[in-house]
Amino acid sequence: MDAFYASVEVLDFPELTGRPVVVGGASDRGVVSAASYEARRFGIHSAQAMVKARALCPQAAFQPVRMARYQEISAQIMAIFRDYTPLVEQLSVDEAFLDVSGCERLLGQGPEIARAIKKRVREETGLTVSAGVATNKLIAKVASDQDKPDGLTVVVPGEEAAFLAPLPLKRLWGVGPKTRERLELIGLRTIGDLCQLSRQELAKRFGKQGLHLYQRARGLDPRPVEVTSREKSVGHEETFATDIVEMAIIKKELLLLCNKVGERLRRHGVRGRTVTLKIKYHDFKSCSRSHTLTQATDDSKTIFQTIVDLLRKTEAGIKPVRLAGLAVSKLEEGSAPRQLQLFGQEEGRQERQELNRAMDEINQRYGSQTIQPGRLSDE
């Protein structure tokens, strides 16, 4: 997808059309999650500090991250992809590989299928997608970034190495900044330059990674498209505007995060058994603490009570806290059988389910956090 988060913001708020749009944390301590193409002209890019983005383009529209909305649109787009092939490997909320090698007789060749998908995504969501059509995942990935936004780049069989050769090393998928720096130190600038080194020389310089570099530079990638499995965890984290020492404020922030995670678990129809707390202190040192429940849960109160117990095992309240986050993992289907509770506990659990269901319905209808419990803990 093209500048996905920012494009969704413009879709939902048409008054932002044509303006530089930056999506990210509300405070200057956060980072840019996405930038529209108008914003990128000012040098703004993802993972950049928000304070720098504001300095580069103070007139931009700075929008908060609305992950639930992006996931909603993402699910709609992925459903469109699966109408064309069941072999969809979702890389992230806005990117996927599609294996259409068995669809030619019914749907046409790869470029024809890509055009049909692009057209349908635009008609049904109002958003644009850029596609790369190639014989393997590596080339398709690089090609999809070649002509953004709303691009379509086709690399015909046998032309993979020629397509990559003039591109800078940073375009070679899987080559990080440190590896690129080492390659540039020996005078290499393009992917074609990398092809000048033999397999033996690359292996000598980079070990096992050198063999991968040898193949990638030549456009070789034998990996199949692997159908994406269900999410392994559901989590949320928040970088605070100022470091927090007061335990009561830290708990309040974690309570809000538990609300969000609980709602997402219920929306996806899953429960989790392992609850993990992440704390990053003012000195950027971080720690995590986990606890596995006897029963999987999607209840925000249960998650929060577990998080409070884990919080006692950290230095929060002693050392200032910069970031707090949590995740629920070891997920299972919400319909999976579970052991009944004794002595009235089952009745209490059913009451919690009904309360959560009512809150979710109100929040889905009128907006996230329209209604939330005054307290999630007996403390």
Per-residue model confidence (pLDDT) at position 23: 95
The Cα 7–Cα 12 span in angstroms is 9
Per-residue model confidence (pLDDT) at position 354: 73
In this structure, of 94-108, 186-200, 351-365, the range with the lowest mean pLDDT score is 351-365
Per-residue model confidence (pLDDT) at position 176: 83
- Per-chain mean pLDDT for the chain: 88
In this structure, of 169-178, 222-231, 250-259, the range with the lowest mean pLDDT score is 222-231
3-state helix, strand, coil in the chain (%, to 5): 45, 20, 35
- Is 26's pLDDT higher than 90? no
175 versus 156: the higher-pLDDT residue is 156
268 C-beta neighbours (distance < 10 Å), count: 17
R_g of the chain computed on alpha carbons:
24
- The structure tokens 């970034």 sit at 145
264 versus 124: the higher-pLDDT residue is 124
- Do the beta carbons of residue 130 and residue 3 sit within 8 Å? no
In residues, how long is the chain?
A: 379
**Buried b vs exposed e over 153-175: b needs ≥16 C-beta within 10 Å?**
bbbeeeebeebbbeeebeebeeb
The model's pLDDT over 58-86, given as tens digits with 9 standing for 90+, comes to 999 999 989 889 989 999 999 999 999 99
Phi-psi group of 317: left, alpha or beta (phi > 0 → left; psi -120 to 50 → alpha; rest → beta): left
The Cα 1–Cα 118 span in angstroms is 10
Across residues 43-54, what is the average pLDDT? 92
The model's pLDDT over 329-348, given as tens digits with 9 standing for 90+, comes to 998 886 555 555 554 555 56
- Is 379's pLDDT higher than 50? no
- Is 29's pLDDT higher than 80? no
| pLDDT > 90 fraction of the chain, expressed in percent and rounded | 66
Per-residue model confidence (pLDDT) at position 372: 61
Q: Of 15, 95, 159, 184, which residue is the catalytic one?
A: 95
- Is 361's pLDDT higher than 80? no
Per-residue model confidence (pLDDT) at position 377: 39
Which two three-digit tokens encode residue 303?
């998650």
Per-residue model confidence (pLDDT) at position 104: 84
pLDDT-derived band of residue 378, with 50, 70 and 90 as boundaries?
very low
The yes-or-no answer on residue 95 being catalytic is yes
The model's pLDDT over 83-115, given as tens digits with 9 standing for 90+, comes to 999 999 998 899 999 999 988 888 999 999 999
| pLDDT > 70 fraction of the chain, expressed in percent and rounded | 88
The model's pLDDT over 4-18, given as tens digits with 9 standing for 90+, comes to 999 999 999 999 999
Across residues 27-56, what is the average pLDDT? 91
The model's pLDDT over 252-269, given as tens digits with 9 standing for 90+, comes to 999 999 998 998 898 888
pLDDT-derived band of residue 229, with 50, 70 and 90 as boundaries?
low
Per-residue model confidence (pLDDT) at position 376: 40
Residue closest to 84 by CA, chosen among 96, 72, 93:
96
In this structure, of 146-155, 174-183, 284-293, 345-354, the range with the lowest mean pLDDT score is 345-354
286 versus 152: the higher-pLDDT residue is 152
